[in-house]
Structure 1
Amino acid sequence: MKKILISLLMALGLAGGALAAGGGIHWDKFPEEKANDLPSLQNGAKLFVNYCLNCHAASYMRYNRLRDIGLTEDQIKKNLMFATDKVGETMKVALDAKQGKDWFGGVPPDLTVIARSRAGSGGSGADYLYTYLRTYYRDDTKATGWDNLAFPGVGMPHVLWELQGQRAAKYVEEKDAHNPAKTVHRFDGFEQLTPGKLSAREYDAAVADLVAYLQWMGEPAQGQRVRLGVWVLIFLGVFTLIAWRLNAAFWKDVK
């Protein structure tokens, strides 16, 4: 429990801060239909192990749990396991904590519960991650060469840039509504510098798959819990009807 709390605090500290830095931006809505779509979850798992698991661990998730999203043990071993040969192992990384801090300014947080940790007034944790992974842009003044609208000053480079391509953020100057003598820079969209392997629509869909997987990983039993809850409510409804009729039958001759 102590390790989980530490990882959660690290995730809040390193992957958070979007609203605190520069006031933040509006979070886009994560397409909820992806959350229970098995092909989306499977593609999200593939993206996670290929692009995220190099630096970020998911040390409270075991590879064999991926069977819950429709993958066989053989598929997991052949396509998703690069750091271990045992399907019962957790998703750990070989990155040294000191190296991570030197390279990125902080230890890359464990991502097991990252989607749950980012829920806030701006929306769900999935909304934040969906926005965050789609708002990277080139900034040569940063050590990594990248910045992010949802997380200004982010230490993590854009690991999905080959898929999305390289973009620049466009700003326009306008007068401050509260102080006409002052000018402010307003974000005015992105400019595509180099094409990516995916179109804009395909990239958004891929990010949605990845976020769906991150959300599922934070609570793998969520779907089962929801389905069980539906059956419990149905049972309670039927039982209430039976109890009501039994009560009426019992008291019908009582004056």
Structure 2
Amino acid sequence: MKKLIVAFLLAVVPVLGMASGGAHLDHADVDMSDQASLQRGAKVFMNYCLSCHSAKYQRFNRMAKDLGLTEQEVKDNLMFTTDRIGDTMNTAMSADNAEEWFGTAPPDLSVIARARGVDWLYTYFRSFYQDDSRPFGVNNVVFPDVGMPHVLWELQGPQKAVFKTEKDAAGNDAQVFDHFEQVSPGTMSPEEYDGTARDLTAFLSYVGEPIQMERQRLGKWVLLFIAVFFVLAYMLKKEYWKDVH
């Protein structure tokens, strides 16, 4: 058993370390019961993300139902890549163009929140900084050498990362991220942009598991049933075995 536990830790810990690139992750604090937040996140996703990234396991009509929107509202405000409400959320960019412009096709984001975690996404959206050595002029503290532009830069405003020199485990000098400095203001205040990043994170968390709120609601009743059933089963066991013991 000890060997199995050690093997599990050796397999999992490196993966967790790579997921954040060694950067500190801020707590997203998303509220999946806040439909207004999910609706705002959907708007940001459709306007800024869907042109390159798909969410091909999510349908527009399912989103309308879950987020408290009418199908007409979705058609009028959130559908830019298709005219059919029952279609999945596919990107407007072809795979050939993606290969030519980015070198590789941007990944589908249907399960990105489940793969990376909401804290990773929330921190990632807020961690782009200017880097002239990169093709699009930006880098990311959470995802070093990221291959995409900062599509929300007008909202957040450009910022630069300040690094400090520290000794690593081997005693060598290493550049460690310290803080961000705002270069110029965006159209949103820092607090407003943080809220937008949180809304987008919440929406991607919903896309990754649309049934999660219903699952959590039913889970409480399932646990209550198991607790009551345990008591009844224990009493029944005592009744059957009282003459034996």
TM score, norm. by length of structure 2: 0.83
Letter of the aligned partner of 1:183 in structure 2? D
Q: 1:229 to 1:98 in 2, by over 3 A?
A: same
Is the 8 Å Cα contact of residues 59 and 87 (structure 2) preserved in structure 1?
yes
**CA deviation after TM superposition for structure 1 residue 207, in Å:** 0.7
Matched with 1:170 is 162
Residue among 35, 47, 72 paired with 1:50: 47
Is the 8 Å Cα contact of residues 132 and 148 (structure 1) preserved in structure 2?
yes
Is the 8 Å Cα contact of residues 164 and 175 (structure 2) preserved in structure 1?
yes
Residue among 93, 102, 105 paired with 2:103: 105
Letter of the aligned partner of 2:186 in structure 1? G
Alignment of 1:64-143 (within 5 A): 64-66=61-63, 67-118=65-116, 125-143=117-135
Alignment of 1:178-217 (within 5 A): 178-179=170-171, 182-217=172-207
**CA deviation after TM superposition for structure 1 residue 165, in Å:** 0.4
Is the 8 Å Cα contact of residues 21 and 142 (structure 2) preserved in structure 1?
no
Matched with 2:222 is 232
**CA deviation after TM superposition for structure 1 residue 235, in Å:** 2.7
Structure 1 Cα separation of the partners of residues 94 and 154 of structure 2: 25
Which string of whole-angstrom CA distances, capped at 9 and with x for unpartnered residues, describes residues 45-87 of structure 1? 1111011101001111100011112112121111111111211
Matched with 1:153 is 145
Q: 1:105 to 1:22 in 2, by over 3 A?
A: farther
Letter of the aligned partner of 1:77 in structure 2? K
**CA deviation after TM superposition for structure 1 residue 126, in Å:** 1.1
- 2:179 match: secondary structure: strand
May I ask how many residue pairs the two structures share in their alignment? 230
Letter of the aligned partner of 1:107 in structure 2? A
Which string of whole-angstrom CA distances, capped at 9 and with x for unpartnered residues, describes residues 204-240 of structure 1? 1111111111011011111111211211222333444
**CA deviation after TM superposition for structure 1 residue 98, in Å:** 2.0
Structure 1 Cα separation of the partners of residues 85 and 20 of structure 2: 43
**CA deviation after TM superposition for structure 1 residue 246, in Å:** 7.0
**CA deviation after TM superposition for structure 1 residue 241, in Å:** 4.5
Is the 8 Å Cα contact of residues 50 and 92 (structure 2) preserved in structure 1?
no
Alignment of 1:62 with 2:64, yes or no, is no
Is the 8 Å Cα contact of residues 24 and 151 (structure 1) preserved in structure 2?
no
Q: 1:176 to 1:86 in 2, by over 3 A?
A: closer
Structure 2 Cα separation of the partners of residues 183 and 88 of structure 1: 55
- 2:56 match: secondary structure: strand
Is the 8 Å Cα contact of residues 22 and 152 (structure 1) preserved in structure 2?
no
Letter of the aligned partner of 1:129 in structure 2? L
Query: Which is further off, 17-26 or 199-208?
Result: 17-26
Structure 2 Cα separation of the partners of residues 185 and 239 of structure 1: 57
**CA deviation after TM superposition for structure 1 residue 249, in Å:** 8.3
Is the 8 Å Cα contact of residues 18 and 151 (structure 1) preserved in structure 2?
no
